[in-house]
Every structure is written in C-alpha cells, then in structure tokens.
Chain A
Amino acid sequence: MAVVTSPARHRLGIAARTLAAVAGGYALAAFTTTALALALRLPRSEAVMVATLPSFLLFAAAVVWAFAARTAWRAWAGILAPTLAAAGVTWWLHGGPGP
C-alpha cells in the first residue's frame, strides 16, 4: 500500500490480502495437489503422498506472496491465475470434456 492511503483503504487492503492468503492459498494448494495426483500416474498411495507432501509449502509460499505483492490486486492475481490453471488440469485429467 502506498504511503498516502487512508486508514479505511489500508484495512480493506489487509482484509483482501488475508482472504487471498487463507482462502486463495488453500485453494491453490488443494488444486495443485489434485492436478499432481492425477498427472503423476503412480500407484495410488504413492501418487497421493508425492502430490500432498509439498502442498503446505505451496500454501506458505502463497501466503508470503499475498503480503509481499505490491498491491492487493496483484496479490489476488498472482494466486488466482495458477489456481485456475491447476483446477483446469484437474478437470481435464479427471474426465475432462467427456469421452
């Protein structure tokens, strides 16, 4: 946030970033997990392990990004774009547009 923003705008910015960090970060971690699990083509339990283990690292990285980005808009965009990509890959691999 720039130095000259009003307190209300400042609080709104923090709320938006917090939402991006918590909800957006979790969604990013969750969809990346599903996309990886489906893409890996490993035995089931191993695929789940390899896909889930790094998810919390990704979540934490998203939280850091949400508060480090220059504006709240950038914070949201930086989390939403890869989340949508991962969701798309999940949808595609999980059945996709039909047989």
Chain B
Amino acid sequence: MKETFRQSMSWLHTWSGLLLGWVLFAIFVTGTATYFRWEITRWMQPEIRQTGTPYDAARAAWQRLDSVAADSPQWFVELPDGRAAATTLFWRHAGPGRRFGRETLDSATGRPVVARDTRGGEFFYRFHFQLQLPHPWGRYLAGVAAMFMFVALISGVITHRKMFADFFTFRPGRAPLRAWLDFHNVTAVLALPFYFMISYSALVIFMTMYMPWGGRVLAESASSARAGRPAPTASAWVAPADFAPMLATAQAAWGDGQRALKRIEVANRGTDKCTVTLTRADGPKISLNAREQLRFDGVSGQLLDPPVTAAGPGTAVHDALYGLHLARFAGPALRWSFFTMGLLGSALVATGLVMWTMKRRARGGAGLALVERLNITAIAGLPVAIAALFWANRLLPVDLADRGDWEVYGFLCAWGFMLMHPLVRPVMAAWHEQLRLGAALFLLLPLLDALTAGPCLRAAWQHRDWAHLGFDAAMLGCGLLLHFAANRVHRRLRLAATAAAPAASAGSTVHA
C-alpha cells in the first residue's frame, strides 16, 4: 500500500470512517437518545401519568386481556416503573400466523389510554438499528456500519499511537485543521473504551444474523430436538389458573419498591403446557439474563423450579456485552455518563467527516462537493429532522388516524428538505442556515410544550415529574449547542465575506 504500516492504517482509517460515516452518525445520535427511551415516550405522551403500584397495573392488565384476548395463546405485559408510565399489552391472535394485538393501558383506570398516538422513544430505539429500512436490510446496514466503525477505531488508534500524549494538546487558535484534529482526538481518547465496547457489542447482539455459520454447522442436534417436541394440536381449551395468588407471591418476594414486578409473559395459553413468567425490574447486574424471574405452571398455578441453564464462559461474555450495550443496569448518574459518551461519539464521527472535506477543499472535485453536502444533511440536518418529529408530536391533531406514522413522516420530510437545501445554497451558508434552524426549533420546543400541553406541564411540575421537565431542559441544551455551532460558522462566513469583498468578483459564492 503506502510506505509504512502507519500510513496504510491512516488511509484505512480515512476511508472506513468516511464511507458509512453519515449512517454511523445517525446511528450514534439515535442510539444516544435511546438511553432515555422511556423519558422521551413520557414527554411524547404527556397525558399518561403513573399511579398505584405495578401490581395494581398487573391486575388491571390481566382483566383487560381476559376481555380482549381471551382465546389468545400468548400474552405479554410491560408494567410501569419509575421510568415508563404506561402499561403495554401485546397478545398473539388465535389461529395460524404470527399476528399480534397491542394496547396501551392507563395504569390508574385499567382502560385503554386516552393519549395521542406516538412511537415515542421507541422510534429512536428502532431507528438506531433498523434505520427505517425494510426488514432485514436496516439491521444488515447497521451491522456493516458497526464493522466499519470497529475497523476505523483500530486503524485510528494505530495511526495515532501518540494520541494519549496529544490529548493534552489543544490548539484552538492555530490553523483550523489542527484545531479540528485536536478536537477529534480529544473526543476519541475521552471515551475510547466505550467506542470499542459499543461497536463490538453491536455486532454481538445480532451475531446470529451477521455470523450464523457456527449455529448452522451444529444445527442438526437442535432440529432433532425440535422434532421430538409434540406439535400443538387443536385440542380442548384448558382453563388457566387464577392469577391473584401468583401476583401475591411476586409481591411478597420483590416488594413495592424501585425493583418490583416489570414483565408478565403467559405462554401456551389454553393448553396443559401453559406457563406464566413474572420478571422483576432490571437491577444493577450487567447481564440481561441475570433477571430475576418467577415461573408458574399456568394450569395448576404452582411455582416451578427455575430453569437450569448451563451458562458457560461464552454465554457469560455474550450476555455481558449485550447488557453493556443496552445499559439497562445503569442508574441515573451512569445513564447520563453513557449519554455523554454517546454525544462524544457523535462528535467524533462528525469531526472526522468534516476533516475529510477540509483536507481536500483546495483540490475541489465532484467527490468533495458530494461529501460536503452529505455532511450538512447528516450532521446539521438530522437535528432539524428530530426537532420536526417533536414538533409534529405537539402540533398534529390528537385524533388523527395513524398519528404515530405521521410524526415519522414529519421526521423524514424534514430530513429530505435538509438534503435538498445544500443543493441550492453555498456550502457554508447551508451549514449556517441548517444549524440555525435546528437551534431555533429546539430552543422554542419548551415554549411549544407550554402552549400545546400546558396542563400536562403544570401537572409535571406539581408532581416533580423529572422526565417531562428534564426533557424540556435537555431540548434547551441541544438548542444552545446548535446555536453556538451556528455562531461559529457565521463568524467564518463573515470573515470570508470581508476577505472576498476587495476582490469584488460578481456573484462570488463563499467556499471558505
């Protein structure tokens, strides 16, 4: 390749970082938002307020499912906790095929909730690994992006082996490229272990999709085991056991505190194989499989022995990586640190993308023009699109059909406009205008919240509901960040304009 190992790694770092950089930036930003998935849902559905214990909610959910999904073979219930306010029901429809019903319950009344339809924080969670693409292509693209990131990290560390020493070098006054490089290095070093963990665990989470071959060559034993299981026959309906004693057992074991009952799953309803699994809210254990569960025989109502899992070291490592990526174990302080590292990661990708164009501006060319415009859409346009999603959440009529989908169309349309906009504007002006628009949309969001959801905001204040209030504060923070970025670009624009003025070339476009 090039003369030295480090030079070839620098080349690899540049191109592996660039090719999917825009996708990676979007994945980073939406993934960072996903750390506050339930808080976002709370803000996007401000009508829902949690009252009572999860056990009250569980009783209400069971009653509701008994009336709407009595013949269903499978029920799932997600109960409210300190973070999520609503009860969510899923059930599988009776008959062939995998069709599911879904309902959100008001945990106080046990009736379907009277709240605006929205995807809430679920949108960010899904977008993070599915990118609004048809299944399974979004997951494959996200996996390729994760692999590119992992390669870019390795080659970046090799290229810049003095990076820890350079961490203490910050030269903001020097040539712009130096300052950008310093910032790129600072964001890299500050959270380097986090980036390695997050990219590798991303690959591990979907490893049966990305690298299914180990399972394929050992598949025989599994398929023979499946053949041994009797096929479900359309026999007579077996009545399930009473739920109240199971609930009492769980309440006695787990109490009403922060870590109470969180999830109910009823499998094989109507057969003599019926089981009821109650899961406790996530604790401080990293692995998601370290969940505490109570399993009951769904017909006799008897408590079953916990399943014996022969978890070897491989499974333990897999579960730990999976749990680390989702960070469900994190309390508020740790969650905010993960969030901050996510923001740093977004900045790492963004500065890398901008530096690619800065190094090549003197040369020009079609590739540069394309990358510069995609950078604007990806980095400055995405915040505008996210703000548009939140604005749509507050402005669309509450009873609009498929309202949740329309919010997403708002997001996509806004992003589409941000893709067109740099085509008709000079590069620096487009940067400035999109950053300014994003700043305005985020800064005005709390005001919009007060105007359109005033009673909910007042109630949030009275109940010290930090999810709602904190969301508004975070939006102000995002707005300020974009505002400062826009100011910086504006200064460059003015400097370039005064420098270009003496030249006085007619219709000169600023390409600073």
Contacts and interface: CB of A to CB of B under 8 A. Distances in A.
Interface string A29-63: 11101101110001111111111110111011001
Interface residues of A, number: 37
Nearest to B4: A68
A46 B12 contact: no
A51 B215 CA distance: 9
Nearest to A55: B211
Interface residues of B, number: 38
B200 interface: yes
A60 B312 contact: no
Interface in A61-96: 63-64, 67-70, 90, 94
Nearest to A46: B312
Nearest to B204: A53
A36 B215 CA distance: 11
A36 to B, nearest CB: 7
Contacts of B168: none
Contacts, number: 102
B425 to A, nearest CB: 33
A46 B217 contact: no
Q: Which of A33, A46, A49, A64 has the most CB of B within 10 A?
A: A49
B499 interface: no
B217 A56 contact: no
A46 B2 contact: no
Nearest to B158: A64
A44 B221 contact: yes
B211 A60 contact: no
Interface stretch (B148-156, B348-356, B403-411, B442-450): B148-156
Interface of B: 1-3, 5, 8-9, 11-12, 16, 147, 150-151, 154-155, 158, 200, 203-204, 207-208, 210-211, 213-218, 221-222, 310-315, 317-318
Interface of A: 1, 3, 13, 17, 29-31, 33-34, 36-38, 42-53, 55-57, 59-60, 63-64, 67-70, 90, 94
17 contacts: A29-B211, A30-B213, A33-B211, A34-B214, A34-B217, A37-B214, A38-B217, A44-B222, A47-B218, A48-B314, A53-B207, A55-B211, A56-B207, A60-B147, A64-B9, A67-B12, A90-B217
Given A29-B211, A36-B214, A52-B214, 19 more contacts: A33-B214, A34-B213, A37-B217, A38-B218, A45-B315, A49-B312, A49-B317, A51-B214, A52-B207, A53-B204, A53-B314, A55-B207, A56-B150, A56-B207, A60-B154, A64-B154, A67-B1, A68-B9, A69-B1
